[in-house]
Homo-oligomer: A and B are copies of this chain.
Amino acid sequence: MSGSVDAVHRRFERFVPLGAADRRFLSEVFARARIVEPRRTVLTEGRRCEALHLIAAGWALEYRLLPSGGRQILKIRLPGEVFGAECLAFGTALESVQTLTRCAISPIAREDYAGLQISHPRVAAGLFLAATADRAVLQEWALSLGRRPAAARVAHLLLEIEHRCALAGITGRATPFPLTQQDVADCTGLTLSYANRILGQMRRRGLITLRPQELAIQRRADLARIAGFGSRYLEPTPLGGFDGEPGPSVPAARSG
């Protein structure tokens, strides 16, 4: 379980500048977090849902199941991110969410949203823009699933995870990697066997080092060429134009 209030502020400030009151608000939300053990289901598709959720710490997976038994993972969630926002529009969860590591999760009630729009417009805007950035990621996944060959899908996934970790300030000589190969397969729309074969090839070619809980990318350029990976869709530009704009709190912070 990694993450802190700072991770949350930092994530929001990728999208909008925050004022002291906004930060205080988010800190209060953060403080409401409850702890969830790894591999627990925290949201089930089709069930009523009256809150969206902030991941204060830990990793989680959003996914959909098919009657035939298939699972498609739709998003990997890192600390500071929000899931279940569709409850605002639907009042129902449209996907399931499972923790990957031990997590700290804070609810934000659906009924509070309209007020939030007035009392903390920058936070509300941050939620919108974060949702927009989420869509960009999902879009990239749809492109992978529809049009990239298997090796490119896997390579793309690995590069995305590493890049997002870097942006989120999760650093070290290797990237944490709590996914199983079944998870990788469910992210990429492949079967376990085939995902395994591809990972094995990448390892044998010296492109990556993959050990339980840990990923290191050895030849990033080669892997990026295979994947057709570009990081633009992961790198938003903060939006200006808010009145009473507070001073820059994250002065164009870069992490690589």
Interface residues of A (CB under 8 A from B): 15, 46, 64, 66-67, 70-72, 74, 85-86, 88-92, 94-95, 110-115, 117-118, 121, 124-125, 127-136, 138-143, 145-148, 188-189, 228, 232-233, 235-237, 239-243
Contact = CB atoms under 8 A, between A and B. Distances in A.
Contact of A71 (B131, B139, B142, B147): B147
B127 A239 contact: no
Contacts of A130: 89
A74 B142 contact: yes
Given A239-B113, A242-B114, A232 B135 contact: no
Contacts of A243: 114-115, 118
A95 B64 contact: no
Rank and list the top 7 A-B pairs by shortest CB-CB distance, nearest first.
A146-B189, A114-B241, A145-B145, A70-B147, A128-B128, A72-B146, A89-B236
Contacts of A111: 240-241
A134 B136 contact: no
A122 to B, nearest CB: 8
B242 A86 contact: no
A127 to B, nearest CB: 7
Nearest to A125: B117
B136 A66 contact: no
27 contacts: A64-B139, A66-B147, A66-B228, A67-B228, A71-B147, A72-B147, A74-B139, A88-B132, A89-B136, A89-B236, A89-B239, A90-B133, A94-B136, A94-B139, A94-B233, A110-B239, A111-B240, A113-B241, A114-B240, A114-B241, A114-B243, A117-B125, A124-B124, A127-B128, A128-B131, A134-B135, A135-B138
Nearest to A234: B90
B236 A145 contact: no
Contact of A143 (B64, B88, B89, B112): B64
Contacts of A129: 88-89
Given A70-B148, A72-B142, A89-B136, 19 more contacts: A15-B89, A46-B232, A64-B139, A64-B140, A74-B139, A74-B142, A88-B129, A89-B130, A90-B136, A90-B235, A91-B237, A94-B232, A114-B125, A114-B241, A114-B242, A117-B125, A117-B242, A138-B138, A142-B142
A125 to B, nearest CB: 6
A64 B146 CA distance: 11
